[in-house]
Structures are given as structure tokens and as C-alpha cells.
């Protein structure tokens, strides 16, 4: 596993508790090092196969 993959996984690992606590996606994205929410969502979908909202069962 390369550096970029490890970095992405660490960012997502840090993001999961924040998202689970109900933090807005844009705030979580910035907190874990993404410039935009869309870049965060794309990485989330690529690694976990779904969007953050679907992962946490948002209505």
C-alpha cells in the first residue's frame, strides 16, 4: 500500500467518528484535510463503496 492510500485511509478513519457524531460533511472534510466536501465524498465512496450519508443511514 502506497503513501497516498495510507493517507486516505487514515483521513477516513479520523472522519468516521466525527460523522457519526453528526458533524456536517463539509466541516469533517476540512478537519481531516480535504479542501472540498466533494473531494472528501469522492474518496469516501471510492474506499467504502457508498456516500457518507448512505453509510450513516441519513434520511
Q: What pLDDT does 59 receive? A: 62
Query: Is 27 inside a domain boundary?
Result: yes
**Which cell numbers in the block locate residue 3?**
503513501
Can you point out the beta strands (E) in the chain? none
Rounded (5°) CA angle 24-21-4: 70
> pTM of whole model > 0.85?
yes
- Banded pLDDT at 57 (limits 50, 70, 90): confident
Q: Widest CA span of the chain, in angstroms?
A: 36
- Is 25 contained in some domain? yes
* Residue 1 confidence (pLDDT): 80
Domain that residue 30 falls in: 3-51
* C-alpha cell recorded at residue 6: 495510507
Number of H helices, E strands in the chain: 4, 0
What are φ and ψ of residue 57, in 5° steps? 65, 40
Domain total for the chain? 1
Amino acid at each position: 500500500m502506497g503513501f497516498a492510500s495510507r493517507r486516505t485511509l487514515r483521513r477516513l478513519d479520523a472522519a468516521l467518528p466525527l460523522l457519526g457524531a453528526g458533524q456536517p460533511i463539509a466541516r469533517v472534510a476540512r478537519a481531516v484535510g480535504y479542501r472540498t466536501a466533494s473531494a472528501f465524498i469522492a474518496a469516501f465512496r471510492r474506499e467504502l463503496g457508498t456516500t457518507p450519508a448512505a453509510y450513516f443511514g441519513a434520511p
